[in-house]
């Protein structure tokens, strides 16, 4: 896929989500929060019953304007003993670290209009929720073009850690609806699943130990 075509798709996707009524975005965010809460709780129970490592560190993201808002879910997870982390940009390496977040955490302004916690305790997540501008039903992701998540997920894999990766997207962000011939770029890191307000693509992820050893 050419860079010009990717930029064109990003523009169309941003326009589509900006056109969503605020009430629709709020309702859709609520549906995604409920779906993710149920998925993690069910997964943790299944892991405990089978003696597997249970995922308990979840890396989320602080929403930009027009993105799905999962902050209420982070508070709910925190209250239920789940460790929540948020990304902190490492500008020189152009990848991300994930630092512990709590409901009373002070958020600071970083580049690109992003809010992030003050660096405090870097964590290695079991699950990474990835902000997703566009997606395919095979869980390919189109991001904002900066490459932070592609580099970060590749770095985690290189370090022999394989978190479950879930793209978080609106229903109107299906790239094949905009370009039936869309193909991801070679550097695009595939995700395990995409969650939207109405469904999972290609399906809700199962679980396995994240170790690559």
Question: Does residue 206 lie in a domain region?
Answer: no
Q: What is the pLDDT of residue 9?
A: 96
88 contacts: CB under 8 Å, gap ≥ 6: 96, 97, 98, 99, 110, 116, 117, 119, 122
Q: What is the pLDDT of residue 92?
A: 58
Q: CA-CA distance, 199 to 31, in Å (whole number)?
A: 10
Average pLDDT of the chain to the nearest whole number: 92
Question: Does residue 212 lie in a domain region?
Answer: no
**pLDDT, tens digit, for every residue of 45-92?**
999 999 999 999 999 999 998 999 999 999 999 999 999 999 998 765
**pLDDT, tens digit, for every residue of 136-169?**
999 999 999 888 999 999 988 888 888 999 999 9
Please say if the pLDDT value at position 213 is more than 60: no
Question: Does residue 159 lie in a domain region?
Answer: yes
Q: What is the pLDDT of residue 211?
A: 47
Question: Does residue 209 lie in a domain region?
Answer: no
The CATH number assigned to the domain holding 143 equals 3.40.50.10420
First-residue to last-residue Cα distance in the chain: 34
Question: Does residue 207 lie in a domain region?
Answer: no
Q: CA-CA distance, 68 to 58, in Å (whole number)?
A: 16
Residue with tokens 């129970």: 45
Question: Does residue 181 lie in a domain region?
Answer: yes
pTM of the model: 0.93
Question: Does residue 188 lie in a domain region?
Answer: yes
Please say if the pLDDT value at position 4 is more than 80: no
**pLDDT, tens digit, for every residue of 7-39?**
999 999 999 999 999 999 999 999 999 999 999
Show the DSSP H helices in 51-106 as ranges: 71-79
Q: Which tokens is 115 given?
A: 């809010």
Backbone angles phi, psi at 189, to 5 degrees: -80, 120
Domain total in the chain? 1
Q: What is the pLDDT of residue 91?
A: 67
- Closest by CA position to 33, among listed 161, 203, 154, 197: 197
Question: Does residue 187 lie in a domain region?
Answer: yes
- Closest by CA position to 176, among listed 134, 147, 145: 134
Domain span at 179: 3-201
Strand partners, 10: none
Sheet strand arrangement including 57-59: 122-123, 95-101, 83-90, 57-59, 127-131, 164-168, 193-195, 200-201
Query: Which DSSP letter does residue 113 get?
Result: G
Please say if the pLDDT value at position 178 is more than 70: yes
Q: What is the pLDDT of residue 204?
A: 96
């Amino acid at each position: 896929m050419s860079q010009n075509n990717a930029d064109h798709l990003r523009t169309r996707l941003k326009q589509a989500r900006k056109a969503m009524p605020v009430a629709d975005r709020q309702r859709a965010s609520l549906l995604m929060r409920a779906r993710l809460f149920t998925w993690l709780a069910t997964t943790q129970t299944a892991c405990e019953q089978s003696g597997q490592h249970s995922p308990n560190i979840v890396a989320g993201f602080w929403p930009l304007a027009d993105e799905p808002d999962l902050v209420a879910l982070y508070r709910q997870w925190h209250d239920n003993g789940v460790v929540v982390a948020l990304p902190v940009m490492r500008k020189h390496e152009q990848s991300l670290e994930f630092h512990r977040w709590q409901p009373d955490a002070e958020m600071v302004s970083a580049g690109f209009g992003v809010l992030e916690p003050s660096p405090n305790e870097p964590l290695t997540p079991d699950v990474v929720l990835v902000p997703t501008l566009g997606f395919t039903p095979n869980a390919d992701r189109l991001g904002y073009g900066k490459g932070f998540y592609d580099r970060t997920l590749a770095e985690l894999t290189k370090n022999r850690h394989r978190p479950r990766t879930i793209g978080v997207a609106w229903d109107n962000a299906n790239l094949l609806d905009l370009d039936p011939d869309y193909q991801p770029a070679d550097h695009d890191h595939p995700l395990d699943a995409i969650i939207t307000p109405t469904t999972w693509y290609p399906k809700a992820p199962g679980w396995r130990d994240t170790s690559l050893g």
